[in-house]
Amino acid sequence: MQIDLHTHSSASDGRLAPSELVARAAQAGVDVLALTDHDGTDGLDEARKSAAKAGIQFINGIELSVTWNKRTVHIVGLNFDPDYAPLQAGIQSLQDFREIRAREIASKLDSAGIKGAYEGALHLSGGNMLGRMHFANFLVAEGYAKNVRTVFKNYLVNNKPGHVTGDWATLEDAVSWITGAGGVAVIAHPARYKLTRTKLRKLIKDFIAAGGQAMEVVSGSHCVNEVKTMACHAVDFDLYASTGSDFHDPDFPWIKLGQLPDLPAKCKPVWDLF
């Protein structure tokens, strides 16, 4: 079984339309797929219809932006009812912040001599969720950097000209929107936050107290050792384990859709809950 429970489409900051993403997943032999766009559910209907045609089991997903202890962390939601009103209200509040932040990012870039970034990023977003990836693509297109990795490092992170501090949902709210909608909350790519062991365990404890049930163990952004460490944490805290590539773009060679190692045998797969 090939399972990928963390992917993005053009409804957020992915390159492919939801139907194109599903077609690519089918080609890659994916059996179970979740679309987890940032702070939005607009791509789910199209993806679900395409998945039904392609014979892929489709799971509703989302990746919510959260501010926890002054840091941004991501919480994936899986297998929920997208029509749950508090979830949609929460999404709206996150999208409102995205709009404010985009204007701030653009104004900071403007001060650094880079003109027209808001319009440029908005155009690249296709009027959907507006995120840093759209600014990154704009800056690459304008020749400020050779690829999005460099552009993030030099422009869009802490202490760089286009950085704006996140002011996202609380961990408690984000988890409750997902669980209230009948879904499972999952800590996304836990090794990416570069937390000390103590801080990571604090995040996991707070997450469990809020009603969270799972964490990503296998992730496109986890190396082999990180998979092992995260498997230990999942077992220690009796959390279910998830697996997802975090695929965004066929032109990013470092992440392949659906090509993921198996979960370590000691883990409880999150899909046992579906």
- Positions touching ligand AMP (CB under 6 A) are 13, 38, 65, 131-133, 148-149, 152, 248
3-state secondary structure of 175: helix
From 50-58, 111-119, 220-228, 238-246, give the range in contact with Mn ion by CB under 5 A: 238-246
Distance CA 76, CA 268 (A): 17
In terms of CB distance, is 106 or 267 closer to ligand AMP? 106
3-state secondary structure of 214: strand
Size of the site for Mn ion (CB under 5 A): 5
User: Residue for token digits 């319009």?
Assistant: 119
In terms of CB distance, is 131 or 244 closer to ligand AMP? 131
Distance CA 273, CA 226 (A): 24
Q: Which amino acid is at 106?
A: A
In terms of CB distance, is 112 or 157 closer to Mn ion? 157
Six token digits for residue 1: 């079984």
From 66-74, 117-125, 173-181, 258-266, give the range in contact with Mn ion by CB under 5 A: 66-74
Q: 46 contacts which partner out of Mn ion, ligand AMP, none, CB within 5 to 8 A by kind?
A: none
* Identified binder of Mn ion from the candidate list 13, 37, 46, 216, rule CB under 5 A: 13
48 binds Mn ion (CB under 5 A): no
74 binds Mn ion (CB under 5 A): yes
CB 150 within 8 A of CB 56: no
Q: How far is the CB of 149 from ligand AMP (least distance, A)?
A: 5
CB 2 within 8 A of CB 10: no
User: Residue for token digits 């409102």?
Assistant: 96
In terms of CB distance, is 28 or 255 closer to ligand AMP? 255
Sheet containing 184-187, strands listed edge to edge, beginning at the edge strand earlier in sequence: 3-4, 32-35, 57-68, 71-78, 184-187, 214-219, 240-244
Q: 152 contacts which partner out of Mn ion, ligand AMP, none, CB within 5 to 8 A by kind?
A: ligand AMP
In terms of CB distance, is 74 or 98 closer to Mn ion? 74
Tally Cβ neighbours within 10 Å of residue 265.
6
Q: 233 contacts which partner out of Mn ion, ligand AMP, none, CB within 5 to 8 A by kind?
A: none
Distance CA 5, CA 246 (A): 8
Q: How far is the CB of 152 from ligand AMP (least distance, A)?
A: 4
Q: How far is the CB of 151 from ligand AMP (least distance, A)?
A: 8
- Kindly identify the residues of this chain, within the stretch 178-197, that bind Mn ion according to CB under 5 A: 188
Q: How far is the CB of 70 from ligand AMP (least distance, A)?
A: 15
CB 151 within 8 A of CB 144: yes
In terms of CB distance, is 81 or 93 closer to ligand AMP? 93
Query: In this structure, what DSSP letter does residue 7 have?
Result: B
246 binds Mn ion (CB under 5 A): yes
Distance CA 155, CA 138 (A): 12
Six token digits for residue 45: 């209907």
In terms of CB distance, is 57 or 67 closer to ligand AMP? 67
| Residue numbers at the binding site for Mn ion (CB under 5 A) | 13, 63, 74, 188, 246
